[in-house]
Amino acid sequence: MDPDSLVREYLLLGLAFDRLEEGFVDAFTGDPALRGRVENAPAPDPRDLSHTARTLRAALPVSGLSDERTRFLDVHLRALECSARKFAGADIAFVDEVEAYFDVHIDMGDEDAYREAHRRIDALLPGSGPLAERVQAHRKSEVVPADRLAECVDAFSSALRDRVRAVFPLPETETVEYEVVGDKPWSGFNYYLGNYRSRVAINSDLEQHMSHLPRLIAHESYPGHHTEHCRKEARLVAGGHDEQTLFVVNTPQCLMAEGLADLALETIVGPGWGQWAQDIYADLGLRFDGELAEKLHAASAGLLGVRQDASLLLHDRGRTGDDVVAFLQRWSLSSPERARQSLRFLSSPLWRAYISTYVEGYRLLGGWLAQAPAGAERIERFRRLLDEPLVPSALR
């Protein structure tokens, strides 16, 4: 099979999954005729999709594609094969499922590390009540007023966009539109529309906190998902890497994208992001303790693995939903409402394994970036994440 034919069949395969589960295709900016061909065809049999994935993967070594593109397609075809088997009703161990999807192996975290994170957070929040209550009270004090959310989003988006365009040039026509939605299992979502345009949805069911909002905008837009999509469209797709026109969930692409986006704020603003955010809020007439927010974020980093542990308890260890909610409340210091919202995300058939993209993506990409000295070399590594078709095993 020649390279162009193999890539075309890969795109048709990925698009077919949206017929099994709407939303499986996160973005497609390629030939509309391919999407039309899939939409007008009979609904696919997932067993056929599994067979196609295996066949295309076996053809890769003799396809004539570059090593970089071959490696990218190999791990993504493995992920799609696993998804097809799941849709066909195969019983796949959860840890194996995550490894096939995201090219990474997961395990339970260290509760001693969580206790140490609690000690660090406790030292930052004075008072005599239970730590979880003090954390939740602090979060309440940081809620962005609902009637000010839109202007806060615009302010941070504009400030981050200016910084990003100075470091990671973007097409002049790129734009992001923001909308507030409800009844979603996530706090924010980037819908990349192609031609350097994104729509970012922010979930109104969850209170948005001052310390989290700049991180959310950096994650979804600048220099996170929107920036990555724009630069890959301008560089890889324009260079003939048509496989990059397709972005589907439960693939290594997702782990790379979420890890990159979770490191976006620290990369583009760096140490002192708390004071930077405080100044922007002050311009809007809002009070925010940026120094405390930055210290709390550093302390809370020790709790990174809690949500992945919760998914393992639910899907690998056979624990009940109530057990998982209690676990999340205990270790993530969250309210019952937020723990239930997390359980909803972890229980979704489409998203149940996805939490590992944040946990393992942050660990892998953060460790890789940290190997370079702060400054120009680390920025160059982040540029590679934005521009190149890297996969987790390549970074390891």
CA 172 vs. chain centroid, Å, equals 25
Read off φ and ψ for residue 196, nearest 5 degrees. 65, 30
DSSP 143: B
Are residues 14 and 248 in contact, defined by beta-carbon separation less than 8 angstroms?
Answer: yes
Given the DSSP bridges, would you call strands 25-28 and 246-248 parallel, antiparallel or unpaired?
antiparallel
The rounded distance, in Å, linking the Cα atoms of 7 and 310 is: 37
At 45, the pLDDT band (50, 70, 90 cuts) reads very high
Are residues 124 and 296 in contact, defined by beta-carbon separation less than 8 angstroms?
Answer: yes
Query: How many angstroms separate the Cα of 19 from the Cα of each of 95, 244, 282, 322?
Result: 26, 20, 48, 33
At 393, the pLDDT band (50, 70, 90 cuts) reads very high
Are residues 150 and 348 in contact, defined by beta-carbon separation less than 8 angstroms?
Answer: no
Would you say residue 183 has pLDDT above 80? Answer: no
Predicted pLDDT of residue 18: 96
| 190-227 tens-digit pLDDT | 999 999 999 999 877 678 899 999 999 999 999 999 99
The rounded distance, in Å, linking the Cα atoms of 327 and 307 is: 9
Mean predicted confidence (pLDDT) in 344-368: 94
Write the CB contacts of 166 (distance below 8 Å, at least 6 apart in sequence).
Answer: none
Predicted pLDDT of residue 249: 95
| 223-241 tens-digit pLDDT | 999 999 999 999 999 899 9
Are residues 53 and 6 in contact, defined by beta-carbon separation less than 8 angstroms?
Answer: no
Given the DSSP bridges, would you call strands 175-181 and 197-203 parallel, antiparallel or unpaired?
parallel
At 184, the pLDDT band (50, 70, 90 cuts) reads low
Would you say residue 62 has pLDDT above 80? Answer: yes
At 189, the pLDDT band (50, 70, 90 cuts) reads confident
| 296-352 tens-digit pLDDT | 999 999 999 999 999 999 999 999 999 999 999 999 999 998 899 899 989 988 889
Predicted pLDDT of residue 349: 87
Sheet of strand 188-194, all strands in order from the earlier edge strand to the far edge:
175-181, 197-203, 188-194
The rounded distance, in Å, linking the Cα atoms of 135 and 141 is: 10
| 131-181 tens-digit pLDDT | 999 999 999 999 999 889 999 999 999 999 999 999 999 999 999 999 987
Predicted pLDDT of residue 187: 73
The rounded distance, in Å, linking the Cα atoms of 387 and 391 is: 12
Query: How many angstroms separate the Cα of 374 from the Cα of each of 270, 271, 286?
Result: 9, 11, 32
Element (H, E) at 96: helix 94-102
Write the CB contacts of 249 (distance below 8 Å, at least 6 apart in sequence).
Answer: 23, 24, 26, 350, 351, 354
Predicted pLDDT of residue 186: 64
The rounded distance, in Å, linking the Cα atoms of 14 and 83 is: 10
Report the predicted TM-score, pTM, of the whole model to 2 decimal places: 0.95
Enter the tokens of residue 340: 């239930």
Q: Inter-axis angle of helices 46-59 and 67-87, to 10 degrees?
A: 160
Q: What percentage of the chain exceeds 70 in pLDDT? A: 98
Are residues 377 and 344 in contact, defined by beta-carbon separation less than 8 angstroms?
Answer: no
Predicted pLDDT of residue 185: 61
